[in-house]
Amino acid sequence: MKQLVEFIVRSMVDNPDQVQVEEVEDFKGAVLELRVAQPDMGRVIGKHGRVINAIRSLLQVRAAKDGIRVNLDLVED
């Protein structure tokens, strides 16, 4: 899951070396925390959150195939 998010986000931002994805276990399942450079935040979020929601949808489909639950959080530093 982590590699999927990294691949998608690195391909769309201007600073791919600053993309960080951390996996944290939660009582509901796994939580992926995504950090990107500040100028790339808007590109990752997209208009009205469409891009980040599309990435979340892809993750949920992949997680359903594996039988697990995954959430994606975009973290600001």
DSSP code at position 22:
E
* CATH code for position 8: 3.30.300.20
The yes-or-no verdict on residue 77 having pLDDT over 90 is no
**What is the rounded distance in angstroms from the CA atom of residue 21 to the CA atom of residue 74?**
9
pTM of the shown model = 0.89
Give me the number of domains the chain comprises: 1
* Whether the Cβ atoms of residue 52 and residue 74 lie closer than 8 Å to each other: yes
**What is the rounded distance in angstroms from the CA atom of residue 32 to the CA atom of residue 23?**
5
Parent domain of 11: 2-74
pLDDT in tens, 7-53: 999 999 999 999 999 999 988 789 999 999 999 999 999 999 999 99
